Structure 1
C-alpha cells in the first residue's frame, strides 16, 4: 500500500521542528513536507486582522500542498483559521486547522472553557471556533477569554523567560475559574510543561499533539 503524505503549512519556521518530532512519534509511516511563510502572520499582526489578500494566499498554499501530493493538509497557525476553513471548500483533499481537535476535546471536557492567548489576532479566532464546535455538538458552554498582554512582545524581543512567567501566571489564575483551558497558540505549550503538578488544577490543552494524533486516527482508515 502506498504511503500517505501529509502537507504542513506554517506561518513560523520555529514550528517545523515541533511538528517534525510529533510526526516522527505518531506518524512514522507517513511522508511529511513543510511549506513555511512567516509573512502571513506578520501581516495579520500588523493589520490586526486576517485580510482578504492574506486569506487568498493561504488558500493558494493549501492548493500548492495538494498539487505537491498531500493526501491531507494541516495548517499550523490558529490566527488564519478562517482562511483554512475557506480553503477546505476549494481543495480536493481534507484540510484541517490545527486547533479544531483541541476545541472539540475542550467541549467534551467541561462546560466552563478558558481560552488563553498572547495575541488578540489568535484569541478571537480560537474563541469563535470553540463556540462553533460547541454549537455543532449541541453543548452549552461558558467561555472565558484571557489575553496575556505583552507576553508575545517579550518573546519576540528575546526575553522568553518573561513570556513564560506571564503566561504561567495567567494560566494559574484562569484555572481557578474554569473546567478546562485551551492554549490558542502552540508557542505557549512549553509553559505548561514547566508548571508544577499542583498548579495544573484543570486540563490544559495544546493544539500540536492533539492535531497530529487526530491525523493519525484519520489516516488509519
Structure 2
C-alpha cells in the first residue's frame, strides 16, 4: 500500500521542484500538492499567526501527514499538529538540524524578510542549548525576480549573496525557492537547502520508501 503525502505550498513554482525530487530520489511516492499563495501574502502583511485558522482547516482536511514548504508558515503549522492528530513537518527542520551539526557559525539567507526570524528561531531550537551564532541577511530584490518569473536571475542573485558570505561554517538557504542557487555558488562553505532533506523526512513519516531503487 502506497501512503500519500500532502505538500502545502505558497507558490506554484514548488510543485515541479518536489515532483522532480520524488521522481529522482523517491520513485513511487504519492504526492498531493495544495497551493495557496495568499497565505504568504497575508503572513507577510500581518504576521504568520494571522493565517493559523486557515492552516488549521487545510491541514485538517489533508487526512494524513503534511509537509509545509513555506518557511514563514512552518512554525505555526507545526504547532497545530497535536490538535489535528496528524504529523505536520516544516520543510526546513531537517536542514536546520544538519546546519547546527555542521558548525556553530551559521549564515542564513532569505529573499523574504518574514522568513528570517522563524528560521533563526528554528536553528536555536535545533541547537538545543549548544552555542550557535546565527547571522541573517535578506537578498534584496531576489523575491521580486522570483515572483515575476525570472528564475535564472533570482537564483543568480542568491548565489552571488552566498559567495559574499565570510566567516561562516555553514550557509542556510532559508526558503525552498532558493535551492537551485546552491550548485551555482562557488564558495567552499557548505550550502544547505531544504527540499531534499525535507521531502525525505516527510516520506519517512508516511512510512514510504525514501531512497531510489538501485539501478538494474
TM-score by length of 2: 0.88
Matches within 5 A, 1:65-104: 65-66=62-63, 70=64, 72-104=65-97
Alignment check: 8 A CA contact 1:58 1:84 kept? yes
Matches within 5 A, 1:1-221: 2-45=1-44, 47=45, 49-52=47-50, 54-66=51-63, 70=64, 72-135=65-128, 138-174=129-165, 176-195=166-185, 199-218=186-205, 219=207
Unaligned runs of 5+ in 2: 210-216
SS of corresponding position for 1:90? helix
Alignment check: 8 A CA contact 1:26 1:212 kept? no
Distance 1:24 1:164, change over 3 A: closer
- Which shifted more, 156-165 or 4-13? 156-165
Task: Look up the match of 2:212.
Answer: none
How far apart are 1:187 and its partner, in Å? 1.3
CA distance in 2, matches of 1:89, 1:194: 39
SS of corresponding position for 1:177? coil
TM-score by length of 1: 0.86
Aligned pair count reads 208
How far apart are 1:82 and its partner, in Å? 2.3
CA distance in 1, matches of 2:172, 2:12: 23
Task: Look up the match of 2:214.
Answer: none
Distance 1:32 1:110, change over 3 A: same
Unaligned runs of 5+ in 1: none
CA distance in 1, matches of 2:101, 2:195: 18
- Larger helix percent: 1
Which protein has greater RCO, CA pairs closer than 8 Å, 6+ apart? 2
SS of corresponding position for 1:7? strand
How far apart are 1:162 and its partner, in Å? 4.0
What do you get for the CA RMSD once the two structures are aligned?
Answer: 1.9
